[in-house]
Amino acid sequence: MLLPYAVLSTLLPLLVFAQDGGIDGPTSSAAAAGYNCDPTKCVLPNCNCASTSPPGGLKPSDTPQFIVFTADDAVQSYTLDAVNQFLAQRKNPNGCPIKMTYFTSLNFTNYTLVTDWYVAGNEIADHTMTHVGTPPAEEINGNLIALNALAGIPLSSIQGFRAPFLNYSADTLKLLAQAQFLYDSSSAASIPVTDPGTDAFWPYTLDNGMANNCLSVPGTCQGEPKLPGFWEIPMYAFFDDRGVNGPHLMDPWLDNANGASTINDTATLNYMKNTFTAHYSNNRQPIGLYTHPIHLSTTYPGVNPSQSTIAMINNFLDWAQQQQDVWIVSNQQLLDFMRHPVPASQLNTLDSFKCTTPQVDASLQICNGIPKNEAGLLSHCDFSDFPFYTCYGCPSVEPSPQNPNPSQDTSNGQQTRFRLPANCSTAFWDPIAGKCLCNQGSCAFVDNSRPIGANGANLTGGGTGDAFVTGTGAQPAASFIPFNAALSSSPNALVAIVLGALGALVLGAGL
Ligand SMILES: *[C@@H]1O[C@H](CO)[C@@H](O)[C@H](O)[C@H]1NC(C)=O
Ligand SMILES: *[C@@H]1O[C@H](CO)[C@@H](O)[C@H](O)[C@H]1NC(C)=O
Ligand SMILES: *[C@@H]1O[C@H](CO)[C@@H](O)[C@H](O)[C@H]1NC(C)=O
Ligand SMILES: *[C@@H]1O[C@H](CO)[C@@H](O)[C@H](O)[C@H]1NC(C)=O
Ligand SMILES: *[C@@H]1O[C@H](CO)[C@@H](O)[C@H](O)[C@H]1NC(C)=O
Ligand SMILES: *[C@@H]1O[C@H](CO)[C@@H](O)[C@H](O)[C@H]1NC(C)=O
């Protein structure tokens, strides 16, 4: 249980960080974009023109319909619980658990849970250290350094960035390309796919500049900035009954639909389905659930999210997954497909779509991001604003942009731990012994995916989320379960008795 002061301080990020960087109308136009790209010169895998058509000349009917699932901000047990209540019970058409992208900022992050989430197969991406808009290089690069040092995330696997408040500049994109990021995902696709002037482009490289947010970000578009091989993954808005005038980008379920004055889950579900269908029955541009999961955490003391909203989101995913060739993916998976486009029936041939479990003897005591192995081995770093846990030794001071990798704290005679080297993967690294348990590919991972069959097979995923119930049904809360195992149905003990009123205020502030 958290102490009250800790509860209070963990509420702070909600107040500070909950603004969603929403949009209220088109953020681009063809004239503002001034975009030119020659597809005979710009070719995959490292160049792709901004286009509304699927990559590789695929017919829309052979193209997978991707639903990108992302979460932003601090990683805590509460936020992983919130994500798990939507994804833990689901599988993609190849039988693999769902992977998602976590844009991680570091204030209030529990580093060991980042390790666990990564080792369970998810993508960890950069959201600056302290959650600032138009960030300086130290905020962006410090996040990489601290996640590598204190969560053991290989630098090579942190490939993506999203700007806090979706607030980026031309310089932000340049800094990212300089630091060898593969992609940014901060811009909006703000015009419906059914509009001839739609800006819902498939992900593209900036060889010929940006083509999104041309009306809102100075110094971008008209061919700028030119960053060869660096990808932009637009965030695809949902549109309510007002069409282009009713866009919903992040956490759409926290918005009022159709200009109404209260949240109406039925109306939200309707427009989410309608926008999905518009994508699915046209050029199958991806769609995304871009979440701030803390808003939907049923385990966060004082926050009491609407069970009807949680059920509505699961209902949407159930409905979408019953359709052919629908895949819920991380941004890395989406880009793997962009760079190597294959028909939906062959998605299983791409490595990132397979599911592999690291083969580590469960009886081994090794601090590696696998809860069975690491139990009892975590260091508890007792900082007053947010105590966290890590396998990699507590830093003597909290990481900051000026000092993202402080020296290890040995003030009480603690043994220093060994940080992840570049040639060992996280699950096999023993930070206490400083030893890699696996040095060859053959002992490392086992493939658990199943064949998805020939073209034309029934390639629907397995959704077993809650049915859509309105009202205040007492749904069991989800607890963090590593490795995407099915959810337990035991009710969670952390009920909202403390700070209930403050929690409501906080959620209200997020709108
Ligand atoms: C932090 O991680 C530890 C170890 O997994 C866990 O026991 C604790 O509940 C976590 N706390 C939060 C707030 O995430
Ligand atoms: C973006 O961030 C910068 C720097 O933090 C700030 O000055 C600016 O007002 C922000 N812009 C928006 C639209 O929030
Ligand atoms: C909620 O939206 C649905 C669908 O648009 C509508 O039929 C219903 O009347 C709305 N409910 C309220 C309370 O406004
Ligand atoms: C975030 O962490 C940095 C470094 O420890 C600290 O200086 C800053 O005050 C923190 N910001 C918030 C909002 O807690
Ligand atoms: C990994 O790198 C370290 C030194 O950086 C070296 O001692 C070790 O042998 C390498 N391991 C493998 C498997 O290449
Ligand atoms: C695919 O499977 C789903 C769920 O099992 C079923 O409802 C649907 O009718 C099947 N579609 C085809 C085209 O076989």
**Which residues have CB under 6 Å of ligand 1?**
76-77, 110, 112-113, 378, 389
- What sign does the dihedral 115-121-126-128 (CA atoms) show? negative
Q: What is the pLDDT of residues 247-298, one digit of tens each?
A: 999 999 999 999 999 999 999 999 999 999 999 999 999 999 999 999 999 9
456 ligand 6 Cβ < 6 A: no
Please work out whether the CB of residue 306 comes within 6 Å of at least one atom of ligand 4: no
> For residue 442, what pLDDT band results from cuts at 50, 70 and 90?
low
Whole-number Å distance, alpha carbon 28 to ligand 3 midpoint, is 31
pTM: 0.88
The token pair that represents 178 in the structure block: 């300089």
Residue 266 CB–ligand 3 contact under 6 Å = yes
User: Which residues, including other chains, have CB under 8 Å from residue 449's CB and lie 6 or more apart?
Assistant: 94, 95, 96, 348, 353, 354, 355
Cα 482 → chain centroid: 16
Residue 258 DSSP code:
G
More confident residue, 361 or 146: 146
Q: If you search the block for the tokens 């002037």, which residue do you land on?
A: 197
264 CB near ligand 3 (under 6 Å): yes
Q: Which of 187, 179, 177 is nearest to 230 (CA)?
A: 177
CA of 364 to the centre of ligand 5 (A): 22
> Is the CB–ligand 2 distance for residue 133 below 6 Å?
yes
CB 167 less than 6 A from any atom of ligand 2: yes
Among protein residues, the one with the nearest Cα to ligand 1's atom 6 is 77
Q: Tell me the sheet residues that pair with 67.
A: 287, 328
User: What pLDDT is attached to residue 357?
Assistant: 85
Three-class SS state of 396: coil
- pLDDT tens digits, one per residue of 238-255: 999 999 999 999 999 999
In the reported structure, the alpha carbon of residue 385 is separated from the centroid of ligand 4 by a whole-number distance in angstroms of 9
Q: Is the CB of 134 under 6 A from ligand 2?
A: yes
Among all ligands shown, which has an atom nearest to the Cα of 458?
6
Pick the ligand that lies closest to the CA of residue 437.
5
* Rounded distance from Cα 248 to ligand 3 centre (Å): 18
